[in-house]
Structure 1
Amino acid sequence: MKLILVLAFVAVVAARPDADFDRYENFDVTQLTENDRLLRAYTECFLGTGKCTPEGNDFKNWIPQSVEDNCSKCSEKQKTLIAQVINAIKEKLAEEWEKLNKLYNPEGKFDKTLSEFLDKYGH
């Protein structure tokens, strides 16, 4: 199984411990993961090929950390949110997932840790 991102890529995540990050503790991830149009728009933001909402920009900034170190600065709720977004992208937007994978994990060296992260938090 190829890289399991993010975030989102969910996230996935260069998380920073500031007040803005805390606002995602109550973010309804199902509104994003169950709306294909919205999920595609966020994914295009993450890829740099589409416009970003403020939330999309935040998630995009968090992707690298989630790929590299399982979002170590994130709360448990935020890890779950990021993993669910990544899994939705993988399942619904396979072609875009491949692009995200190449963008944030070009050498595949984070495949194992990312897979473990998604297995643990992506449900």
Structure 2
Amino acid sequence: MKLLLLLPLVGVALAYTDMNDNFIVDTMMQDPAKARKETQELTACLLDEGPCEGFNAAAKNHMVLTMSDACGECDMMQKRGAVKFLTMMKKEFPQQWEKFEKRYDPTRTNFDKFVQKLSVYKDD
């Protein structure tokens, strides 16, 4: 019984607390034009091709672990945001997508697992 009561707390503790879920909801899920702009800015940050502040800096700090454990420490909204971001990056910015894959999963051993595991969070 005690274990069942602790499970929701473990789920909350695993979320990246320095990531603003409201940003994900308000930007990535609600406003396609703004989502495209934010995706471009986050991609530039992740690839060291642009400024890296606030949400983008936090995302960059977590990216290596996030890719290696398929967003295992993300909460549900962070997983939905990751799927939205990756889908948009691949579709809208294919050259940056290739650089992203090479940087964050050079052997491509984690990326397929990441996409497969998080595909249940895709809202399209």
TM-score, normalised relative to structure 2? 0.73
| Greater displacement, 35-44 / 103-112 | 35-44
In structure 2, how many angstroms separate the alpha carbons of the residues matched to 1:34 and 1:56? 18
State how many pairs are aligned: 106
Moved >4 Å (runs of 4+): 16-19
Cα RMSD (Å) of the superposition?
Answer: 2.2
Instruction: Report what 1:26 is aligned to.
Output: 22
Q: Sort the Cα spacing of 1:17 and 1:98 in 2 relative to 1 into closer, same or farther, 3 A.
A: same
Deviation at 1:54, TM superposition (A): 1.1
Q: CA shift at 1:32, angstroms?
A: 7.3
More helix by share: 2
Sort the Cα spacing of 1:25 and 1:97 in 2 relative to 1 into closer, same or farther, 3 A: same
What is the 5 A alignment of 1:91-106? Answer: 91-106=91-106
Asked if 1:115 is matched to 2:115, the reply is: yes
Identity rate, percent: 25
Distance 1:18 1:63, change over 3 A: closer
Q: State whether residues 33 and 84 of structure 1, in contact with CA within 8 Å, keep that contact through their aligned partners in structure 2.
A: no
> Which protein shows a greater Rg?
2
Q: Which has the higher contact order (CA 8 A, sep 6+)?
A: 1
> Match for 1:50: what amino acid?
G
1:31 positional shift: 6.3
Q: Normalization by structure 1: what TM-score?
A: 0.73
